Structure 1
Amino acid sequence: MSSSSGDKVRASHILIKHQGSRRKSSWKDPEGAVISNTTRDEAVAQLKALRDDIVSGKADFNDVAARYSDCSSAKRGGDLGPFGKGQMQKPFETTTYALKVGEISDIVDTDSGVHIIKRTG
């Protein structure tokens, strides 16, 4: 893999924020009331359940992102668009680049919260 500007990936994600998140508010919890009372373990449990539904085909990734993600990308079904190296938090970037297109990650921790990532390009 070269590190040229053409070396971009595209991904969608679902973010669940929790007490340890850098910013404890989101588009669906502007006051941060829910986020401040959510432990990391609770956030992970919720995300694992959502991931199981997606992987088993019971739910669609984009629909789940639109409903549950604490990131404003929820409005786009979780789509973050294309990005290159150095644009995302390191664990997020490393995981995305390691996925094959169409693959969904396990739980990824960043300063923002816990995520599952789907590489789309």
Structure 2
Amino acid sequence: MVFFPDLKTVHTGDLFIWGKRSDGSTLSPFMDYGNGGSGLEWTATLDGVLELDFDTVIPGHGPVLTKDEVRTFRDRMQTLQDRMRAAIDGGATRDNIVSRVETTDLDWPFRPAALQAFYDEVIAAQ
């Protein structure tokens, strides 16, 4: 992430993405576990970004946006975390987590492998 205080602009790279692919499908967050990424830390990292004084954000993918869209993205990530924890507390397993965590209202098409990897991270953190 790069902050340009004089311009009140942040460039988030892939920490924050928004928009549609060329085929019209919605971009969804990519938890890059292979390179040290963390779904659990994502919300806290975005909280740090939101503490900065900016109006404009240049995401890793998608159009130039505002601080409000970063906040919306952050809140969706928190909702996903809350739902994942609730499903696990309710007895969800890695094999059935995809059917136990609702994501359609988040407007993000998560791949089953992404939700399973996030499940693994949440279990390991308990």
- Report the TM-score, using the length of structure 1 for normalisation: 0.31
Higher helix share: 2
Larger Rg: 2
